[in-house]
């Protein structure tokens, strides 16, 4: 069997042959005037007229049969068979195609709609030209790419040859478009906010740091989809805004976590977290129906029906019911003992009781199928949410719980500037003590709040929701996941 390099050299020789015959193997212009999908859908009419049409596409297969050649091309809209017959073409053109064309090449073909003896709707080719000569052979089958790292590294081949991955890419686009359509139809204005920030805010996460040469200062890649910026738009008088954009978190990788991903956040003036829960429930159901045609999903070990009842899971009570630990009456030692009991690993650097309680909750949530909403989160765990006056020490926060994971977070936004300043100070103290996921003090945001922000509900969700609905890891559900350079492996 020839090596990849030997096959590549053979194709380079064919490239040289094309050039020797005066054919440009990489032209900029093509004369296509109909897609393959349109050609096939109007085939009977086109065949009856007997007119010449020009198609283009990538050659997926090539077969010889006596003095004829059969090929299949794909242009992104559909796949069609080509029929080359030696005595119906220019002899030089036929021979050059036979000698110089390989599977994987992009070609342009001109001919008439015909039906072959086997009843196949085809294009009877009269002329052809090369559009792009491929120098590396395509894998014979999509499942030839077994290794996950190799599949991710050559995702373009995975998409080209694996119908399931191509369908995932299409659904991913439909997913975000459905969210966009839902929010716009509910009166939300789409906005875009800065990706580079002087203060990383809006989430509990470790940011990426880079240097801004023009201003000569360090800046952060944002860790939320413009949360604090969108709240400033509430101050500015916009009643409903949202953003879909990329965010970056310099943290670990897992089945559910990446460092570079798409997130949506909306902010709704004069609404609270209970109104937010109803809107989010409607949005998740709408997206499920529009994109997947169902509200029932098998996600890991869980069967989830979004059309059914959405339960409320109270934070403290859920942890107590599953672990026996009452977080309302514990100290750091108690939390550490509980983490040890349930074999929950943690980083001792920067560790504190809030981080420990969060880890204990994450252990508990994995046992909840949902759908439902997590509520009753302690104030210390959520520095941007409004306190629940009926339950002092807790906040008006909600998080969709589906298949053992949190698939979003929302709350009645804190709009008391003095309270916000105090909570930022507490978070900054935690950060100074070594917790690099605690939030930074943002004086500009506090100043904006001092001009007045209306009661507001905010909510954010990431592409993890899409990955869960697809029953895939978030890395598998990305089109081009981040890869370590090959030479460094």
Token duo for residue 108: 């342009």
Looking at the predicted structure, is the pLDDT value of residue 163 above 70?
A: yes
Write down which residue in 83, 112, 138 finishes a domain.
Answer: 138
Asked if residue 114 belongs to a domain, the reply is yes
> Same structural domain for residues 134 and 166?
no
Residues 96, 164, single domain; the answer is no
Cβ-Cβ contacts under 8 Å for 428 (sequence gap 6 or more): 438, 439, 440, 441
**Res. 329 pLDDT band, cuts 50 70 90:** confident
Task: Please check whether residues 115 and 26 belong to one and the same domain.
Answer: yes
Percent of the chain with pLDDT over 70: 97
Give a yes or no: residue 475 inside a domain: yes
Give the CATH number of the domain where residue 78 resides: 2.40.50.140
pLDDT of residue 345: 87
pLDDT above 90 for 429:
no
One domain, residues 377 and 468: yes
Instruction: For 71-105, give the DSSP string.
Output: EEEE-SS-EEEEEEEGGGS-HHHHHHHHHH--TT-
pLDDT at position 141 is: 62
Longest dimension (CA), the chain: 90
Q: Is residue 170 part of a domain?
A: yes
Domain boundary among 138, 173, 196: 138
pLDDT surpasses 70 at 315 = yes
Report whether pLDDT(334) > 70. Answer: yes
Find where tokens 């500009």 sit: 444
pLDDT at 143 over 60: no
Q: Say if residue 221 is in the same domain as residue 103.
A: no
Q: Is residue 335 included in any domain, yes or no?
A: no
What is the Cβ-side half-sphere exposure of residue 15, based on CA atoms within 13 angstroms? 16
Cα separation, 382 vs 361, whole angstroms: 14
pLDDT at 489 over 50: no
How high does pLDDT run on average in the chain? 92
pLDDT in tens, 125-140: 999 999 999 999 998 7
List Cβ neighbours of 65 (8 Å cut-off, separation of 6 or more). Answer: none
Task: Answer for the pair 256, 405: CB distance below 8 angstroms, yes or no.
Answer: yes
Residue 90 and residue 178 share a domain: no
Whether residue 407 is found in the same domain as residue 456: yes
User: What is the DSSP pairing of strand 189-190 with strand 405-406?
Assistant: unpaired
Range of the domain at 286: 156-310+370-483
- Within 13 Å and on the Cβ side, how many CA atoms surround 378? 16
Better-predicted residue by pLDDT, 457 or 158: 457
Give the model confidence (pLDDT) of 335-380 as tens digits. Answer: 888 898 989 888 877 788 888 988 999 999 999 999 999 999 988 8
Give the tens place of pLDDT for each residue, 109-120: 999 999 999 999
197 vs 233 pLDDT, higher one: 233
Above 80 in pLDDT, residue 325? yes
């Amino acid at each position: 069997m020839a090596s990849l390099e030997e096959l590549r050299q053979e194709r380079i020789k064919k490239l040289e042959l094309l050039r020797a015959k005066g054919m440009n193997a990489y032209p900029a212009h093509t004369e296509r005037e109909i897609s393959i999908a349109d050609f096939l859908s109007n085939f009977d009419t086109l065949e009856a007229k007997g007119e010449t049409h020009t198609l283009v596409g990538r050659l997926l297969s090539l077969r010889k049969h006596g003095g004829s050649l059969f090929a299949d091309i794909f242009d992104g809209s559909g796949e069609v068979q080509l029929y080359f017959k030696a005595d119906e073409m220019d002899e030089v053109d036929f021979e050059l195609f036979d000698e110089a064309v390989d599977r994987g090449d992009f070609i342009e073909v001109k001919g008439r709609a015909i039906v072959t003896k086997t009843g196949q709707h085809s294009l009877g080719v009269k002329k052809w030209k090369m559009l792009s000569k491929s120098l590396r052979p395509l894998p014979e089958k999509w499942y030839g790419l077994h290794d996950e790292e190799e599949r991710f590294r050559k995702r373009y081949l995975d998409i080209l040859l694996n119908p399931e991955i191509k369908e995932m890419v299409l659904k991913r686009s439909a997913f975000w478009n459905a969210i966009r359509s839902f929010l716009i139809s509910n009166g939300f204005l789409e906005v875009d906010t800065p990706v580079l920030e002087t203060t990383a805010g809006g989430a509990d996460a470790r940011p990426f740091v880079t240097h801004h040469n023009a201003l000569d200062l360090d800046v952060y890649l944002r860790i939320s989809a413009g949360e604090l910026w969108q709240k400033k738009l509430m101050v500015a008088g916009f009643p409903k805004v949202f953003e879909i954009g990329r965010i970056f978190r310099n943290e670990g990788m897992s089945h559910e976590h990446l460092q570079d991903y798409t997130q949506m956040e909306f902010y709704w003036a004069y609404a609270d977290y209970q109104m937010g829960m109803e809107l989010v429930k409607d949005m998740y159901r709408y997206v499920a129906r529009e994109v997947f045609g169902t509200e029932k999903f098998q996600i890991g070990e869980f069967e989830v029906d979004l059309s059914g009842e959405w339960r409320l899971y109270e934070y403290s009570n859920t942890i107590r019911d599953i672990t026996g630990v009452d977080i309302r009456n514990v100290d750091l030692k108690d939390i550490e003992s509980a983490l040890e009991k349930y074999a929950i690993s943690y980083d001792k650097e920067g560790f504190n009781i809030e981080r420990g309680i969060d880890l204990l909750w994450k252990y508990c949530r994995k046992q909840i199928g949902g759908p439902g909403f997590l509520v009753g989160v302690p104030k210390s765990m959520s520095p941007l949410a409004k306190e629940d006056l009926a339950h002092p020490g807790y906040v008006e926060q909600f998080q969709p719980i589906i298949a053992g994971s949190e698939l979003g977070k929302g709350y009645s936004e804190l709009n008391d500037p003095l309270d916000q300043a105090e909570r930022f100070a507490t978070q900054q103290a935690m950060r100074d003590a070594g917790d690099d996921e605690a939030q930074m003090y943002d004086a500009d945001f506090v100043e904006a709040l001092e001009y007045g922000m209306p009661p507001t509900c905010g909510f954010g969700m990431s592409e993890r929701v899409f990955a869960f609905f697809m029953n895939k890891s978030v890395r598998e559900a990305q089109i081009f996941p981040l890869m370590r350079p090959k030479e460094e492996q």
